[in-house]
């Protein structure tokens, strides 16, 4: 029994809360199935795909070291569109000062895109990335066509960005960044599956 309110609840004496029934306890077994994503792609396929993209001039020892490293940390790879992680180490805040909530009026989308928007929103709700809300804040969704023809669901936060306090951070010149890497032999990049 769970009290989902902040107030104490009184249950009158003699109230029937539940009917108890005997159950059979099933033995739990540890699955030996390989790690798979929502789409069913095994993690080993991700590692194999990455290994194919490495240069041919790598030695067999180097290839084995890279493969061992990728297999050791295969849990960091996204295996499907909605297989995204999240962190609890930091909480993102947007400093808007004393700005009142910005509620954009909803824009009309072409009827051909409505089904795509509904499907993507439903997937995000099912994956617990978004939840229905009633708020004074409102920003429109925008569909952006990618190179592969797939539509990415984006949110137009330009009005919120205009109201956000600008926290300037001085970035070094790009030539300074490149010159600091002149002795480097290995380079890598971090690619996010999708940013919400």
Instruction: For the chain, give every domain's residue range.
Output: 35-78, 103-182
pTM: 0.54
What length is written for the chain? 196
Report how far residue 169's alpha carbon sits from residue 75's, in angstroms, rounded to the nearest whole number.
33
- pLDDT score, position 39: 45
- Indicate if the pLDDT at residue 27 is higher than 60: no
Q: Among 142, 145, 153, 143, which residue's Cα sits nearest to residue 120?
A: 153
- The per-residue pLDDT of the chain, averaged, comes to 79
Name the superfamily (CATH) of residues 103-182: HIV Type 1 Reverse Transcriptase, subunit A, domain 1 (3.10.10.10)
What digits encode the pLDDT tens for the residues 132-189? 888 889 999 999 888 888 888 899 999 998 889 887 778 888 888 888 888 887 777 7
Q: Among 142, 17, 127, which residue's Cα sits nearest to residue 83?
A: 127
What digits encode the pLDDT tens for the residues 117-137? 999 899 889 888 888 888 889
- pLDDT score, position 117: 92
């Amino acid at each position: 029994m769970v009290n989902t309110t902040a107030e104490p609840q009184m249950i009158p004496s003699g109230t029937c809360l539940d009917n108890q029934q005997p159950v059979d306890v099933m033995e739990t077994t540890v699955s030996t199935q390989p790690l798979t994503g929502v789409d069913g792609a095994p993690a080993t396929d991700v590692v194999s795909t990455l290994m194919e993209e490495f240069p041919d001039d790598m030695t067999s020892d180097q290839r084995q070291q890279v493969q061992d490293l990728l297999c050791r940390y295969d849990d960091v790879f996204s295996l499907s569109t909605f297989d995204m992680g999240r962190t609890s180490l930091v909480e993102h805040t947007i400093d808007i000062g004393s700005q009142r909530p910005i509620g954009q009026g909803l824009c009309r989308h072409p009827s051909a895109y409505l089904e795509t928007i509904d499907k993507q929103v439903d997937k995000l709700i099912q994956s617990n990335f978004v939840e229905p809300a009633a708020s004074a804040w409102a920003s429109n969704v925008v569909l952006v066509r990618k190179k592969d023809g797939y539509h990415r669901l984006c949110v137009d936060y330009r009005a919120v960005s205009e109201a956000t306090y600008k926290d300037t951070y001085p970035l070094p010149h790009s030539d300074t960044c490149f010159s600091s890497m002149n002795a480097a032999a290995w380079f890598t990049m971090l690619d996010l599956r999708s940013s919400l």
